[in-house]
Chain A
């Protein structure tokens, strides 16, 4: 217990304290105690639209990360040569060594009108004029998937790695071909890893700021960029607090629905 004490203290100072300050703030409007901030949020179609867009983009990011990440994790876990595993692990961890900001800017360099992707597409004859690839939802999605992918791959990999290889052998011996053995043994046993990966990716994606801000531009506001706007441009701390609380509540709600459906206790078992 004592060993986690520093962590708890840090969480209290840097996480719970600001949250506790923001929550009461969100209950004030012009110095009076009221629910006006929340009222304003849910009455304005643009804000609810942004909330659902945020949830949708987070869900899309999670699904894409799963579709790309699971095969990668599976491949990493099935490679028996430790050197190749180490190399693959390095490739996945490498982006962590560069800042998210740098990585998001590099997507701008790639996707801009005179960027590499347009250059290749024009030269291959797929398009005649440069296409606007930046500052839309697709750009946000590409950037977010790129940054979130390791958070999906690593938990799945670690669970797959620890599945007893004899179980698949046993299934094969009992008459299952490799596809049936995967569907009936490996995949169900990797569910805890998928659960953990999906949770981490989804929660991080809900509150993600830098990439949507840079690649999305003003036309694709998300919750985090909305909060930034309220605080830094408009100085409306009270309304910003309300948005934070709404985002947090939505996250908790979605996580608990997920828990009901899948059972988070299985992940930690």
Chain B
């Protein structure tokens, strides 16, 4: 976790936004601490942008509270909140020059002219756009417009910065470059940032903590590695990274070993984490890269299956392995040794470190 201070800079408590009978945001509570980089991650319609809009003041919560720097701001007008925001597609003022765009928040705060010129020059330097002050936004490339939007949002030194899918419109390469710049900027400015995205990779790269949202509810909050290694439910396991899910019912359980009857009818003897009892319905999550294909003469293995397909991706090989009747597992192996691997149709034995398999909540149980 980031630099945690005693009091959170921003607290959302039981936040709700209801349109008619549609719950866009349903009981969201998050404490965000000074200097943290928090990502709201979720598919479209998950309510992440609505949460951001309520923090910015463009929408008012139906219920719950927003406490910013110790003050409730639920009903405060957006212009009174002093929170920076970078919009999707940037929302630069097309009729103003880059200078005037960035000077806008300072003019609204009645900063004197000399100070405006100094501050704008300073922030333009920071985003490396010093020579572009007199241009209009449509004369700039997407990446440059992005940086102007960022400069405009930080020039008045707000304690909190909101970023609404700011990298969504950029192509992949530029996006990765901007991610690194954003991360650097965060380290340098030590500002609290709330970032909204539907791109799980982006969330993993940038965040101190990730809030996974789905249907207006929080599925899980935690640092990237925790969410990846210990997803608590099927949604998080599926949304962040790739995962194999083994769903079934425990038939019998003795010490460490349990017999799991999968939904396809096949039964397997497995070592399951935690306490399971006979009759429990369980869902196990196993990441593809944690699966190890072991040699045939090995005795230490967890499952056997039939190799259905191999895909060579260069740095990795991807295997599709069928266990039981029709349950397919994806496995990934780094292409380290130039050995000839198993061929489709071969029987394979697979293994994993005991802590790699996790019990999670299933949505369909």
Known: A166-B87, A180-B108. A173 touches B93 (CB 8 A): no
Q: Is the interface of B mostly helix, strand, loop or mixed?
A: loop
Q: Is the interface of A mostly helix, strand, loop or mixed?
A: helix
Instruction: Digitize A161-172: 1 where CB-to-B-CB distance is under 8 Å, 0 elsewhere.
Output: 000101101111
Contacts of B105 in A (CB 8 A): 174-175
The stretch among B77-85, B261-269, B326-334 that forms the contact with chain A is B77-85
Assess whether B95 is in contact with A189, with CB atoms less than 8 Å apart.
yes
Assess whether A171 is in contact with B104, with CB atoms less than 8 Å apart.
yes
Other-chain residue from A164, A169, A174, A189 in contact with B104 (beta carbon distance below 8 A): A174
Instruction: Digitize B61-82: 1 where CB-to-A-CB distance is under 8 Å, 0 elsewhere.
Output: 0000000000000000111011
Contacts of B82 in A (CB 8 A): 175
* Interface residues contributed by chain A, number (CB under 8 Å): 17
Contacts of B84 in A (CB 8 A): 173
User: In whole angstroms, what is the CA distance A175 to B78 when docked?
Assistant: 7
How many residues of B sit at the interface, in one of the four size bands?
A: 20 to 34
User: In whole angstroms, what is the CA distance A173 to B59 when docked?
Assistant: 12
Known: A173-B83, A176-B79. A166 touches B108 (CB 8 A): no
From residue B345, how far is it (CB to closest CB) to chain A in Å?
A: 56
Q: Does A88 contact B (CB under 8 A)?
A: no
Known: A167-B91, A189-B95. A173 touches B108 (CB 8 A): no
Other-chain residue from A170, A180, A185, A189 in contact with B85 (beta carbon distance below 8 A): A170
Known: A166-B91, A185-B93, A188-B95. A172 touches B152 (CB 8 A): no
Contacts of B87 in A (CB 8 A): 166, 169-170
Contacts A/B (CB < 8 Å), 13 sampled:
A167-B93, A169-B91, A170-B91, A171-B104, A173-B78, A173-B79, A173-B84, A175-B156, A180-B108, A184-B104, A185-B93, A188-B95, A189-B94
Further pairs besides A169-B56, A169-B91, A176-B104: 17, Cβ < 8 Å = A166-B87, A166-B89, A167-B91, A169-B58, A169-B78, A169-B87, A171-B93, A172-B57, A173-B58, A173-B78, A173-B81, A173-B84, A173-B85, A174-B152, A175-B108, A175-B156, A185-B93
- Top 8 closest pairs, chain A to chain B, by CB: A175-B108, A174-B105, A170-B91, A166-B91, A172-B78, A173-B85, A175-B79, A176-B108
